[in-house]
A and B are shown apart, each in its own frame.
Chain A
């Protein structure tokens, strides 16, 4: 067993190298990197843009070649891509993700500063999803075929057919004060001047900013999670050990909630491992809909502004979280289900 997980951990390394190398190489072979962006900016500030704009930045502005060389050297753009990948990897091993040219700050600091916001929304949304879906799934399984089961199935179908961020967008239009109701602000984490508010106002303000994004997060996994819970319990209810429990004369409540339920929670538990990626790294779509300045939003804006150091930094963190999440799922699997033996 231990050997299995050591092998899994070792396997992390080639996977990680493969992914980062692929993306790194792609970003290198495409025009519009940091130096080009800087040239564009210089062009804009010196006001010599003329009619050019757009693509051919270097042609309109005279940049001394020494400056260009210096810039290229600074971003390791003067070396072959595999060399600069190796240099980047060497820096990474010392937790140095480079510097963002947009923020002029170390990438790690920028990312770490945005973690709390992403985790705040992710964690609440995740908790909400589990605390709604698990009881609902159990109830649906116990009352299989009843009116309640059919009525709640309608909700499940809706959940399958609308992505979480899309539901968020609809709710924002309805409640965000654009056309219909003005209950909640147009996104963000907190209102401006939050620190100076009295305690009560602080709480309501925070709640107003929280409610819609959190619903969007939860809606994203609502349908799958509910159905998973229901099917898992249904499957266990048909097992022999349930028959035995009934035969012993236990009452239905005990059989359902103690015997069957415990076993049917196994697939739900293993999902917890995968959730780490979503909780910590946020969601690009939801953070963009609600203007939440978290990891996802940062990743999105960095791609648009070609701030590759940040783009690569977020890729590293996302990939690591996803890979660790996978392993964590397996660990949880072994912990909750002693029948499972990986070898």
Chain B
């Protein structure tokens, strides 16, 4: 071999990754969104009404890091029930006996009602203040804290629906496309029937009847979000199956599962990968819509849609509509940017143009 080596060969995936990175807004959106999602797992120590650390009479407590509940009286507070750490911090400072409290950066919890807080006079919802950056909702809960927790829930929910929907859609589509014949005819009729059901209405009816929890709601939404994927998959499998490399694999005596998973599947992923971000947009949008209608996640789950519902009931409280929808908008915009970059990288459409 000569010393001058040819440029290092790149796999198709490396090429695509390089292309993806060349779309700056998509690439940075991906980094930002992924970073924010990872950060959101630190929510309990960033946004919480429980202290990170309490030093009381020489003893250390870490309420935010453990599941233990500390009684107020054990920490020298004159009240019944769980300690109020914000108050505790003031109390220790006043007494100046060497006790101290370290609060999280934003010392409010998403499900804590602040109705008894003397700093918040009047009935809720309160407008934004220096302490409550986005005000409070109609039960006196801090809106910013709810938005921050709602972000993780919305994104996790969306990813769950997409994953679940993809598994169902890919399985059904692959089976119909690969095995064909009578199974295909019957299966397609079934898919058609299923897609004929009015999505939102049926989901609302079911949700109003069974009051689903997080996972069940993911399953219900996924049950109505797999048909599109199955059409794509079926088409791809149908096309790929007729190609020579599949005939070669069959001639080799490969099993069905080997042909499906090792040969055809990797070749048929392109369209569904480039569709995934848009599926995520749809899933997050549906969750917010359902929460807005009151048929989404069960209260008191922090949710963006529920805040909008309150905002429309208290139309003069603009912060209840603007902030959650702003959060929804920025999240979805980032996902759309990612989707644009992914599509360009995986499935480039070059429009040839005459003149």
> Cα distance A45–B108 when bound, in Å?
42
Stretch of A49-57, A111-119, A188-196, A314-322 with 4 or more beta carbons under 8 angstroms from chain B: A314-322
> Cα distance A152–B155 when bound, in Å?
28
- B318 and A180 form a contact (CB under 8 A): yes
Mark contacts of A168-192 with chain B using CB atoms, 8 A cut-off: 1 yes-contact digit, 0 otherwise. 0110111011111000001000000
Choose among B193, B322, B333, B355 the residue that contacts A173 (Cβ–Cβ < 8 A): B322
- A160 and B292 form a contact (CB under 8 A): no
> Cα distance A177–B316 when bound, in Å?
8
- B308 and A23 form a contact (CB under 8 A): no
> Cα distance A284–B294 when bound, in Å?
12
| Nearest opposing residue in chain A for B319, CB measure | A179
Nearest-Cβ distance from residue A24 to partner chain B, whole angstroms: 10
- A238 and B289 form a contact (CB under 8 A): no
Mark contacts of B335-355 with chain A using CB atoms, 8 A cut-off: 1 yes-contact digit, 0 otherwise. 111000000000001011111
Choose among A26, A173, A246, A318 the residue that contacts B201 (Cβ–Cβ < 8 A): A318
**Does B38 make an interface contact (CB < 8 A)?**
no
**Does A204 make an interface contact (CB < 8 A)?**
no
Cβ < 8 Å to B, chain A residues 64-121: none
Cβ < 8 Å to A, chain B residues 212-248: none
Known: A160-B281, A284-B200. A237 touches B351 (CB 8 A): yes
Interface size on B, residues (CB 8 A): 47
| Nearest opposing residue in chain A for B316, CB measure | A178
- B293 and A27 form a contact (CB under 8 A): no
**Does B208 make an interface contact (CB < 8 A)?**
yes
| Nearest opposing residue in chain B for A323, CB measure | B196
> Cα distance A238–B86 when bound, in Å?
67
Stretch of B1-9, B49-57, B138-146, B324-332 with 4 or more beta carbons under 8 angstroms from chain A: B324-332
Choose among B209, B293, B355 the residue that contacts A284 (Cβ–Cβ < 8 A): B293
Stretch of A123-131, A209-217, A261-269, A296-304 with 4 or more beta carbons under 8 angstroms from chain B: A296-304
- A19 and B196 form a contact (CB under 8 A): yes
> Cα distance A224–B112 when bound, in Å?
41
> Cα distance A318–B335 when bound, in Å?
31
Known: A27-B205, A318-B201. A166 touches B325 (CB 8 A): yes
**Does B83 make an interface contact (CB < 8 A)?**
no
> Cα distance A246–B208 when bound, in Å?
60
> Cα distance A157–B295 when bound, in Å?
28
> Cα distance A332–B225 when bound, in Å?
26
- B325 and A169 form a contact (CB under 8 A): yes
Name B residues whose Cβ lies closer than 8 Å to a Cβ of A.
189, 192-193, 196-198, 200-202, 204-206, 208-210, 278, 281, 285, 288-289, 292-295, 308, 311-312, 315-318, 321-322, 325, 328-329, 332-333, 335-337, 349, 351-355
| 17 CB-based A-B contacts, threshold 8 Å | A19-B197, A158-B333, A160-B278, A160-B332, A161-B332, A162-B332, A163-B285, A178-B316, A178-B317, A180-B318, A186-B315, A231-B349, A234-B351, A237-B351, A252-B355, A303-B204, A318-B198
